[in-house]
Amino acid sequence: MKELDKIQSLGMIEGYKHEVERRHALLDELPLWEPAARLKKECMEVLQRMDGLKTRFDRKLVISIIGPGGAGKSTLMNAIAGKDNLSASGSRRPTTEKAVLLCKETQDADDLKIKLGENNLQIITDPGNRLLEHCMLLDTPDTDTTARENHIPLVRTAIKSADVLLCVFNAENPKNRDHVDFYSDYIQYFQGSALIGIVNKCDRVEEAELRQAILPEFERYINTAWDRPLASVYCISARRHLQQPEWDDKARPRHDFDQFEELARVVSQSLNHPAYGPEKRVENARYLRDFIRDEVQKTAGKYISRLREAREQVVSADQSALQKAFGTIRREGSGQGLGVNVLLYQRLANQWFGPIGWTMAIWARILIFGTGLMAMFRFGNPIRQVLGVISSMRHFKDAQVNIDDVQKNERVNAAMQSYRVAILQSWPDIAEKLVEGGFQSKVRRLEEIIPQQKDLSDSLMEMWQHALNATLDRKSRIFSNFVLQILFNLPILVLLGHIGWLTSKHYLMGDFLSSDFFLHAFVTTVIILFLSFFLFQGCLRLFSSPENIVRLSFRNIQQQIDPLLQLSKNPLFRQVEMVIALKNEKSEFPISNNDGKYGCIL
């Protein structure tokens, strides 16, 4: 194989390996989904096999022969090699007590000696055998004899080290269930083209029965049991092709139907080719990648409908619970009209000019002081109430903090109680769907799923304050319109201009006005100022009352609930979304650990 082709092929194997590693990492983020543990184990098995493919990339193709005792594995190996007694055959069980490797040179076996152990591997070299130019034959021990426990690790290692499997069955009993079931866990990691089925001793049964019943039933059975098709199935009589068959007089062949020559050509020509080994390893790596992808998708697909139902119910329950929680905050905060007024007038005072703007600033500070006094007459923590009064008198600029502190704990606690009650009503049905969707039974315990109260309380209050501030900002911009400022400031500005003109005129003429004039001018100015401010307050009260602001804030929250639910930080919700995403055929998974602040139960 050319060096550049080799580099490209190794890169492809590494790319397939990376995809499996990514899926393993995704499954590792699903601790509550029970099938993830099995799938992670399969990923690790596939990764080990891919590492093996890379390690033996330049080495000769390993053709492993597996099958139950008495099926004729050793006889088949001898027949393919064209030499009798390379691997022990006969009626004694176990026939093969060690793994037997037929190769051209001793160094060809270096990798298998390490994996199987030198004491467990019998190496037979045949330098002149053209069959062994680019491949090796590995005969495995029996797995259904008294030495089963010792042989099983060897067989497992032999399968993992194989590029092609020759699966040998006895035509007299081809559906050996114990053997088929034993190998099913290992066969799944081999693609169909690497699996060749061999029904040996076909000369022991009648040809018509073999063709019409045994062979079709066997193919259907093995494909179902192993959940994958065989590349081909050959009916052979391996003993017939030994140099000295040594037939038992009572067990002579019953017919001449034998496909051994076809099998021998596949091994000696197709498999024994310099490019076949590397190409087969890349192909096997791709198959392993596809196997894990399909296995993950198939497993997720079993639970997808239940998890989608659970997700819809979760979103609906979370939305309803949030609305009830914010509704509680709204009701509990309905007596906070004075505080809402303070915040609104603060914003207006910062945006208005002229006498009305000055009046608003004074009025906002009067309201702040009043808010501190009102705290003394509300239920709650007495110390916090007194501190609220002192703070309002000492720190007029911290108005919003003072207002938010008043009854804040009471409102949030009541909202949390409403939220939990709403969730408790919906959770049993949701939890059952999650359990049916493969999640652990611990999801039934809501206390392990619902977020910490402090985190949720902070999120609820932060979202409420954000909505309230947004409404106040919008209202203050509307009522700080330049036309409105001119309209309400105009009467007092005209009056002040008139008083100033009269005063200046008489002063320049040397005619000094009396104190009564200035007293009346002052009183008139105050009256006009109060009337203008009163009219403005009337308009403000009509279109932006505290109740109206609270109602608009709540409506704004309702519009934000749906998108905010998708920002949930709860691990269970993220795991449900990930399992649903695993069903997709795309190799990339659009899942990220977001930092949303307002997500709730899931």
For the stretch 343-376, pLDDT in tens is 888 888 889 988 988 988 888 877 766 554 444 3
State the average pLDDT over residues 519-545.
89
**Does the structure show a pLDDT above 60 at 384?**
no
What is the C-alpha to C-alpha distance for residues 73 and 79, in angstroms, rounded to an integer?
10
Environment class of 538 (CB within 10 Å of its CB; exposed 0-12, middle 13-18, buried 19+):
exposed
The long-range contacts involving 3-6, CB below 8 angstroms and separated by at least 24 positions, are: 5/278, 6/57, 6/58, 6/278
DSSP state of 33: B
The long-range contacts involving 413-416, CB below 8 angstroms and separated by at least 24 positions, are: 413/457, 414/328, 414/329, 414/332, 415/325, 415/326, 415/328, 415/329, 415/332, 415/457, 415/460, 416/325, 416/453, 416/456, 416/457, 416/460
**Does the structure show a pLDDT above 50 at 548?**
yes
Environment class of 588 (CB within 10 Å of its CB; exposed 0-12, middle 13-18, buried 19+):
exposed
Environment class of 371 (CB within 10 Å of its CB; exposed 0-12, middle 13-18, buried 19+):
buried
What is the C-alpha to C-alpha distance for residues 348 and 305, in angstroms, rounded to an integer?
54
What is the band of 263 on the pLDDT scale with cuts at 50, 70, 90?
A: very high
**Does the structure show a pLDDT above 70 at 415?**
no
Residue 15 tokens read as 């790319």
What percent of the chain has pLDDT above 70? 78
State the average pLDDT over residues 157-177.
85
Distance of CA 237 to the CA centre of its chain: 52
**Does the structure show a pLDDT above 80 at 2?**
no
pLDDT at 508: 86
What is the C-alpha to C-alpha distance for residues 237 and 198, in angstroms, rounded to an integer?
10
CB 307 within 8 A of CB 583: no
What is the C-alpha to C-alpha distance for residues 420 and 446, in angstroms, rounded to an integer?
10
State the average pLDDT over residues 384-410.
45
Segment among 64-68, 157-161, 381-385, 514-518 with least mean pLDDT: 381-385
pLDDT at 27: 95
What is the band of 602 on the pLDDT scale with cuts at 50, 70, 90?
A: very low
Q: Give the highest mean pLDDT range of 89-98, 145-154, 272-281.
A: 272-281
What is the C-alpha to C-alpha distance for residues 322 and 206, in angstroms, rounded to an integer?
76
Terminal C-alpha separation, the chain: 54
What is the C-alpha to C-alpha distance for residues 358 and 363, in angstroms, rounded to an integer?
9
State the average pLDDT over residues 271-293.
90
Question: What CATH number does the domain located at 60-273 have?
Answer: 3.40.50.300
Distance of CA 73 to the CA centre of its chain: 46
What is the band of 445 on the pLDDT scale with cuts at 50, 70, 90?
A: confident
CB 200 within 8 A of CB 171: yes
Segment among 97-101, 190-194, 202-206, 527-531 with least mean pLDDT: 190-194
DSSP string, 533-563: HHHHHHHHHHHS-HHHHHHHHHHHHHHHHHH
Record the pTM.
0.65
DSSP state of 512: P
The residues, any chain, with a CB within 8 Å of residue 46's CB and separated by 6 or more, are 20, 189, 288, 289, 291, 292
**Is the Cα torsion angle 554, 556, 559, 565 positive or negative in sign?**
negative
> Bigger pLDDT: 585 or 518?
518
Q: At what angle do helices 35-55 and 148-160 cross, to 10 degrees?
A: 70
pLDDT at 597: 35
Helix locations, 406-452, DSSP H? 408-436
pLDDT at 214: 87
**Does the structure show a pLDDT above 50 at 94?**
no
What is the band of 220 on the pLDDT scale with cuts at 50, 70, 90?
A: confident
**Is the Cα torsion angle 135, 137, 138, 144 positive or negative in sign?**
positive
Q: Whose CA is closest to 57, among 130, 111, 120, 132?
A: 111
Mean pLDDT of the chain: 80
CB 91 within 8 A of CB 141: no
